[in-house]
């Protein structure tokens, strides 16, 4: 029977109950790049580090906010939020958790050297003040209703490691000291990451004594490892294997819609874009700066075909930054219809009816079918006269180049495939990170790799971020989204639907943030 797309908490097939081993092995489709919880704001890194480090404010499976190292929070004036900290919590090295650790964390989180994309979006513009050992005040420059949402993205580290808080020392384990349910045990890049149960954990004790994460980038190899019993759980079941695995009695599939949009970022800021040329190889003024060209590209993309043929039906065509139902989405937006004739007419109107040559860059080991999606985009744009070259690479190389690979430290590429999962679960996250004009000091546009800039959109985003009334904020976020999409700040393609596979007797409880967490592996 064909797997259907269900809500984020759905379990598609459940095997009969059986005892699970105390040790758990998880095959990961995308390998984390560091044990440093602040090095790279990347889904695999964020999921892995949650095993070792806690946040002040946690997120449940649908990204609702819950107490964690903070037991409560509230605004005490227009510019100040008070957080009460949990007492009696110890770090893995036995030191007590208190306000000093929070102050140090917020000093470090937005300032990690060589970070491909850090946490400035969430940490900057906030001043953390210690009131006493278990009370902190976080001040903002303007009223900021999303304080708890932002705080829920940042993992807390110990002030005791201040002198050794370097990415390399997190990777070696020397600095990987958190308050989380598991302790660092081993990190061998390319082979395995091992954590062990924290028997002194302040919260609900984890089910597993030891968890081994094994990066298995190739989909067929991941499925083979599950079928052979080499791993207990795998993330990102390949879309081509879902129907087959549904017929396997010893396999359980769990599936949920995520808030991750797969999209295209375009070079909005350079007249001479490095990977765009005339068809004869000569120079050409960057055509992507003309919205008619951007709209032509969007019309040339057959989103339904990508979903059905590339994604095997396991995705949802996208017309905005988040799927319907998430906070701040617009009811007025829908996926752009496939219209190659209209696309050609727009290119003609923009003065590039003869086309041009362009390269699409993307990762080949980060998102579901990412390289295949890039190839499909290349074919579709070639059909309207844009001669496309497709270049994909490992994410460990790709994100650094996409963010700051040019000689002047700006984004290197002209046209890229990328994805964004809303860390806060609402439209303010992608609007602030992807759409707002890049401002390193304020943390705006931290992953705006196209350097899109529109003062009117910026003003709406900033208005929303300072709007306390939820209904009004949702309305302003929707208006900002509509304006950004009309201007093709980015071109949304589809929303990911994620599928986990596990051996009989286990199931995975899906999350909208796509995280693969050992605590979400449950016995059946």
Please state the three-class secondary structure of 150-189 as a single string.
Answer: HHCCCECCCHHHHHHCCHHHHHHCCCCCCCCCEEEEEEEC
> What pLDDT was estimated at residue 124?
86
DSSP state of 16: P
Quick check: 368 and 362 in contact, CB under 8 A? no
Quick check: 303 and 338 in contact, CB under 8 A? yes
* Tokens representing residue 240 in the block: 């081509």
The distance from CA 433 to its chain's CA centroid, rounded to whole angstroms, is 11
| pLDDT over 70 percentage in the chain | 96
> What pLDDT was estimated at residue 12?
44
Q: Considering Cα of 367, then 372, then 378, then 381, what sign does the dihedral take?
A: negative
What is the C-alpha separation between 444 and 467, in angstroms, rounded?
17
> What pLDDT was estimated at residue 442?
87
Instruction: List the domain boundaries for the chain.
Output: 37-174, 259-496
Q: Transcribe 193-231 into DSSP letters.
A: EEEEE-TT-SSSPPS-SEEEEEE--SHHHHHHHHHHTS-
> What pLDDT was estimated at residue 8?
39
> What pLDDT was estimated at residue 521?
97
> What pLDDT was estimated at residue 218?
93
* Tokens representing residue 492 in the block: 């949304």
> What pLDDT was estimated at residue 14?
37
Residues 6+ apart with CB under 8 A from 24: 208, 210, 211, 212, 232, 233, 518, 521
What is the C-alpha separation between 62 and 323, in angstroms, rounded?
13
What is the C-alpha separation between 91 and 31, in angstroms, rounded?
26
> What pLDDT was estimated at residue 313?
94
Which residue stretches of the chain have pLDDT < 50?
1-21
What is the C-alpha separation between 79 and 99, in angstroms, rounded?
19
CA distances from 217 to 32, 234, 236, 364, 509 (A): 11, 11, 10, 9, 22
Q: Transcribe 391-458 into DSSP letters.
A: EEE-HHHHHHHHHH-STTSS---SEEEEEEE-TTSBTHHHIIIIISPPBTTTTBTTT-TT----HHHH
Quick check: 170 and 36 in contact, CB under 8 A? yes
Residues in the chain: 524
What is the C-alpha separation between 43 and 31, in angstroms, rounded?
10
* Tokens representing residue 378 in the block: 């290349």
> What pLDDT was estimated at residue 7?
37
What is the C-alpha separation between 150 and 157, in angstroms, rounded?
17
* Superfamily name with CATH number, domain 37-174: Dipeptide-binding Protein; Domain 1 (3.90.76.10)
- The region that residue 94 occupies, defined by phi over 0 for left and psi between -120 and 50 for alpha, beta otherwise, is left
Provide the CB-side half-sphere exposure for 35 (13 A, CA): 28
In this structure, how many other beta carbons lie within 10 angstroms of the beta carbon of residue 17? 10
Phi, psi of 251 (to 5 degrees): -125, 135
What class does CATH assign to 259-496? alpha beta
Q: Quick one: which of 153, 167, 180 has its CA closest to 91?
A: 180
What is the C-alpha separation between 317 and 305, in angstroms, rounded?
10
Q: Quick one: which of 446, 444, 426, 517 has its CA closest to 65?
A: 426
Angle between helices 455-465 and 470-486 (to 10 degrees): 160
In this structure, how many other beta carbons lie within 10 angstroms of the beta carbon of residue 22? 10
């Amino acid at each position: 029977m064909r797997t259907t797309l269900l809500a984020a908490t759905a379990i598609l097939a459940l095997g009969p109950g059986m005892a699970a081993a105390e040790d758990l092995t998880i095959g990961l489709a995308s390998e984390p790049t560091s044990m440093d919880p602040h090095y790279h704001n990347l889904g695999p890194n964020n999921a892995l580090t949650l095993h070792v480090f806690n946040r002040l404010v946690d997120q449940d499976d649908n990204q609702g906010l819950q107490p964690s190292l903070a037991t409560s929070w509230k605004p005490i004036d227009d510019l100040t939020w008070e957080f009460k900290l949990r007492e009696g919590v110890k770090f893995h090295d036995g030191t007590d958790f208190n306000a000093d650790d929070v102050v140090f964390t917020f000093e470090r989180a937005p300032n990690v050297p060589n970070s491909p994309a850090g946490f400035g979006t969430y940490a900057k513009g906030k001043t953390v003040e210690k009131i006493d050992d278990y009370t902190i005040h976080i001040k903002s420059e303007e009223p900021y209703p999303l304080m708890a949402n932002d705080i829920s993205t940042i993992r807390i580290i110990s002030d005791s490691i201040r002198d050794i808080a370097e990415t390399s020392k997190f990777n070696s384990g020397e600095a990987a000291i958190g308050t989380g349910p598991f302790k660092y045990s081993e990190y061998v890049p390319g082979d395995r990451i091992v954590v062990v149960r924290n028997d002194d954990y302040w919260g609900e004790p984890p089910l597993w004594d030891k968890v081994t994460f094994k990066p298995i980038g190739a989909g067929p190899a991941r499925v083979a490892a599950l079928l052979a019993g080499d791993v207990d759980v795998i993330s990102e079941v390949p879309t081509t294997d879902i129907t087959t695995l549904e017929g396997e009695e010893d396999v359980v599939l769990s599936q949920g819609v995520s808030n991750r949009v797969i999209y295209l970022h375009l070079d909005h800021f350079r007249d001479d874009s490095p990977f765009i040329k005339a068809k004869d190889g000569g120079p050409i003024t960057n055509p992507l700066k003309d919205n008619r060209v951007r709209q032509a590209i969007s019309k040339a993309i057959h989103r339904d075909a990508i979903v059905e043929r590339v994604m095997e039906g396991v995705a949802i065509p996208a017309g905005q930054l988040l799927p319907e139902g998430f906070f701040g989405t617009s009811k007025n937006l829908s996926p752009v219809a496939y219209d190659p004739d209209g696309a050609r007419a727009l290119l003609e109107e923009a003065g590039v009816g003869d086309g041009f040559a362009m390269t699409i860059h993307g990762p080949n080991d980060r998102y579901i079918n990412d390289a295949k999606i890039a190839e499909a985009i290349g074919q579709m744009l070639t059909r309207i006269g844009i001669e496309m070259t497709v270049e994909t690479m490992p994410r460990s190389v790709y994100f650094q180049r996409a963010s700051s690979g040019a000689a002047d430290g700006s984004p290197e590429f002209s046209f890229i495939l990328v994805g964004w999962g809303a860390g806060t679960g609402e439209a303010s996250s992608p609007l602030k990170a992807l759409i707002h004009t890049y401002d390193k000091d304020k943390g705006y546009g931290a992953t705006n790799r196209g350097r899109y800039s529109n003062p009117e959109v910026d003003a709406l985003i900033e208005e929303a971020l300072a709007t306390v009334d939820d209904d009004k904020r949702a309305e302003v976020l929707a208006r900002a989204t509509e304006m950004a999409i009309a201007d093709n700040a980015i071109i949304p393609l589809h929303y990911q639907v994620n599928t986990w596979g596990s051996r009989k007797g286990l199931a995975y409880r899906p999350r909208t943030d796509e995280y693969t967490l050992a605590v979400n592996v449950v016995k059946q």
